[in-house]
Structures are given as structure tokens and as C-alpha cells.
Structure 1
Amino acid sequence: MRRLPQPTPVDLRRDPLPLRGRTALVTGASRRAGIGHAVARRLAAYGASVYLHHHVPHDVAMPWGSDRIEEVTASVRAALGDPGARVVDGPGDLSDPAVPAQLIATAASALGGRLDVLVANHALSGSDGNLDTIDAGMLDAHWAVDTRSVLLLVQAYVRHRAALPPRTPGGRVVTMTSGQDHGGGMPGELAYALQKGALASVTRTLATTLAEHAITVNTVNPGPVDTGYATGETYDAVAALFPGGSWGVPDDPARLIAWLATDEAGWITGQVIDSEGGFRH
């Protein structure tokens, strides 16, 4: 079927709830200071029902600590643009190879039986080193969480979508990469950089694979975002590398990711998109 060469005047009017009736799973959405929470709020504000995945033991082990999941969920629920939409949360240790498929099934069931949008935002922090200090355990840990679990999530998501009527609209996958391909790379976080680089590299392959199911696949590099992990001189030094002298905030990449989930972005697929505010590497 040929695509219309020009949108009608009605087509050009922006729907204030472009994700009304759609459903989304956002992984790694356990902290109000994090990107996952910001993405979930944007999706909810655009009308989507959202499932928030969290793994609190990971946050507990980090310097920034954990957040109250009830308050994270309440914050997303408060942003709902469609009163008929819902927000649900649930745990999952994505280092377990059985969990990704379980999570897709749980999220789809909790949101009414269909899952439209998958935002794989989670990542392993810490347990990393440079070329001299890295070991097999560190490499395996980051592979399991940062890459393997994402591919298994996508696999389970596609199998779920394949059971829906052919070319059901709204299919979206967004993964997250980092700044490993810019400037001097990330020599102090070799395992993390390696696995995030793998996601960036596989984006176009996944986009080609999923095109027959009417699913777009894109990867976002959010650049340095202030999620509470940097302080003091490090914080100031990074801020100075932005033209405006300040870090990105979680809602900066969230706006891009939410837009990629809408029908307006239906012609964007297979792309690794930087959302860095002019950051100088």
C-alpha cells in the first residue's frame, strides 16, 4: 500500500495524548532521580499505561541508595494524562536469564494483555574496572545485565507481538547506550562500555529483524545526566563541558524517548541517537 504523500490538515494537529490506549514497560525505573522514572512519567503523561520494573537490591548496594517504590509509582501515577490508564510496578533480577520473558509476560498481563512499548533502561552500576583491573566476573556480570537481558527482553517482546493481529500499530523498542563511542571513550569502565557498545552495534540489525512486525528499534545515548551519582569536583568538571554550564536532567532524554514511542516517530528506526545538549567530549 502506498503511503500518503502529504498529511491532511487534521493529521498535522498534534494529539495531546499521542499514546492514549498504548501500554509500556520501562525497566530500571526504581528511583525518582533516575532516567527510567522520568521516561515513565512522560509516557504516562502522553496517555500510556505503564509498568515500572525495579530491582531494589542493586540500588541498595550503590552509593546513592534506594528509593521508596511506592513513592516512585505514585509520582508516575500523578502524571497520568488519561484517567483510564494505569501504572503498575514489579520487581525483577534481570541477571537471571529466565526473568526477561517472565517480565514481558507479567507486564503485558498487568496492562490488559498487550504490550506496545519496551524501554530497556536498566543497567549494572559498579563491578567494573580498567584494562589492568578487569576480570572475567566483571565482564560476565555486565554482559548478563547490560546486554544479554536486553536481547532476551526484545526476544520475548517480539514473540508477544507476533501473537497479536498482523502489524498491530504502536510497536516500539528503545534501548540505552552511553558515551563509549565519543571522545576518549570510557577506559575506567571497560565492562560497561563494552556491553553498551554492543547494544549500539546491534540496533540496526534488530530494526531490520523487527520491521516485519511493524516495530521500530532505536537506541538513545543520554549523555551525562544528573541522577545523583556525581558530586564535588567531578560534577563541576563535567558541567563545564556543556555549553550552558549544567548537566542534563532526566527529563531531557525522557522527552526524546517518549517521542520515539509515538506514531510521529514511526519512520525513525535503526538509529543511535545522541541527546547530549552539546556536551564536549
Structure 2
Amino acid sequence: MITASALRRDPLPLRGRTALVTGASRRAGIGHAVARRLAAYGASVYLHHHVPHDAAMPWGADSPDAVADSVREALADPQARVVSGPGDLADPAEPARLVRTVTEEFGRLDILVANHALSGSDGTLDDIDAAMLDAHWAVNTRSVLLLVQAYARSRAASAGDAPGGRVVLMTSGQDLGGGMPGEIAYALQKGALASITRSLATTLADRGITVNAVNPGPVDTGYATDEVLAAVAARFPAGRWGTPDDPARLIAWLATDEAGWITGEVVTSEGGFRR
């Protein structure tokens, strides 16, 4: 029987732990919201960004310092810290370098949230070519698997088989409803992450590491036109898009000990979105 004291929730369930959140480059994005939630739960956070990618997109780049300062405002543990740094995850050597940088900075890495993704450079079945497929594979899938590999090796070196290891991947609901016929390369590579989640969870279970994936559904991160915003909002029972903090709350919970029995799952957090 669980004791009454064990049932009392720790207000800082991630105190003393360190998280790496990739793709945390815009204050309007999911990565930023996740990082703020983790910081509010007591974790130290390393924010990965790749400004050239955002600068090439319609929404433009944000200031890495401004993003980091925003996350620092959410720090709940006086001993916790926020550090940010760049990295082009299209480079196959970058995942290992990034994990090494985090472990050298904080001494260990407990939580990996692979939130980054390549946007654009995509199209329909008629539009795609080998270059598009290769670009999405390199950033959206290969780099994630190499990050998990480097993370698992760092955990083995710094924490052994201690519980509390967490990996969260991001998918896109490409297997639900009508799919994503206008973004074939993106859907393909995100689908690969959903498919590998259980295999990774089984591989890392004996090391005290859980692996889950989250499908955040349509989230308003500033990329949609007013017309698209209105049309998609009508398909939510609540009449609104998801906000970045909606999936962030789920991801932060998955990082805590309360979610220690959840692994190998693809969790959809779409607010009842009707496809």
C-alpha cells in the first residue's frame, strides 16, 4: 500500500535534474513552452536553437537571449540554471556534440525532449524529390535517433541505471484522419519516429529510461494565416487551436516520476480535434 506521504505531490518534481530541449528557438514555439514548464518543475534546462532555419521561414528568427531569459523567469529552483546554444542537427556529428556540451555544462543529462523539426522544403507526392526526402530524414529522423543514442550513452556514464531518465519525441498525427498529403516528406519522417518509439522504449527500459512520443495536434505557433486559423479552430470542440503550453504540460508531466510507468506510447494531445 502506498503511504499517505508518498501521495503528496512534490511542487518541484524535477529538482536536481537537467533537461535538453531541442528546437527551443522561438518564444511562440512549443520548445520554449516545454522548457518553461520543466524549469517551473525545478529542472535546469539547456535550450538548443538553430537561428538560420527560422530566419529563412515566414515567421522569422527570435533572439536566443530573449528565449533564454524567458525560461529563466520560470526557474523555480534557486540552484537551477538555463543555458542556450546553437546547433545544426543536419550535421550527423552534431547530436553527439550537443549531448556532450550539455553533460559538460551540467554534469549529467536526465531529460531529452527532441522537439526540433525541419519546416518547408516539402510538398505533395508529385512535388517531392530525393533532396527533400534526404533533408527531412537528416533533421527530423536521423538526428533524433542519434540524439537518443548519445543521450543513452551519457546516462550510462553519469547516472548508470538510476531511474528518472526520460526521452520525449514529437510526432504529427500523420497516421490519423486524412493524413498530411501536402507534406509527404515531413509526414514520412515523423511517422518513422512514431514507429520506433516502442522499440526504443524496450531497448532502454533496463536503464531506467522511458521513451514516449507526443502528437501535439494543430498548435498556434504563429505560422498560420487568419483564414487557416478560423477554419481549423472550427474543428476543435473548444473552438480554439492548441496553444504551445497545451502539449508542454503533458510533456513536462511525462518527465516526472509520476509518469514512470508510461513508456513506448504515442500520446495524442489534440483537444478533441476533428479531422
Report the TM-score when normalising by structure 1: 0.97
Q: Deviations over 1:40-94 (max 9, x none)?
A: 0000000000000000000000000011111100000000010110000000000
Taking the TM superposition and a 5 Å limit, the aligned residue runs for 1:260-279 are 260-279=254-273
Change (3 A) 1:199 1:251: same
Q: Distance in 1 between matches of 2:241 and 2:211?
A: 27
Query: By how many angstroms is 1:166 displaced?
Result: 3.2
* 8 Å contact from structure 2 (residues 163, 207) kept in 1: no
Aligned sequence identity (%):
78
Q: Distance in 1 between matches of 2:243 and 2:96?
A: 31
Change (3 A) 1:165 1:230: closer
For residue 54 of structure 1, the aligned residue among 27, 49, 61 is: 49
Question: 1:175 corresponds to which residue?
Answer: 169
* 8 Å contact from structure 2 (residues 125, 184) kept in 1: yes
Taking the TM superposition and a 5 Å limit, the aligned residue runs for 1:1-281 are 6-111=1-106, 113-281=107-275
Change (3 A) 1:247 1:155: same
Which amino acid letter does the alignment assign opposite residue 20 of structure 1?
R
* 8 Å contact from structure 2 (residues 108, 159) kept in 1: no
Q: Distance in 1 between matches of 2:92 and 2:39?
A: 29
Which amino acid letter does the alignment assign opposite residue 79 of structure 1?
A
Which amino acid letter does the alignment assign opposite residue 270 of structure 1?
G
The unaligned stretches of length 5 or more in structure 1 are 1-5
Task: Give secondary structure in 2 for the equivalent of 1:25.
Answer: strand
Q: Distance in 2 between matches of 1:106 and 1:243?
A: 43
Q: Aligned-residue CA RMSD in angstroms?
A: 0.6
Query: By how many angstroms is 1:169 displaced?
Result: 2.2
Change (3 A) 1:88 1:165: closer
Query: By how many angstroms is 1:234 displaced?
Result: 1.1
Paired positions, count: 275
Question: 1:3 corresponds to which residue?
Answer: none
Q: Deviations over 1:13-62 (max 9, x none)?
A: 00000000000000000000000000000000000000000000000000
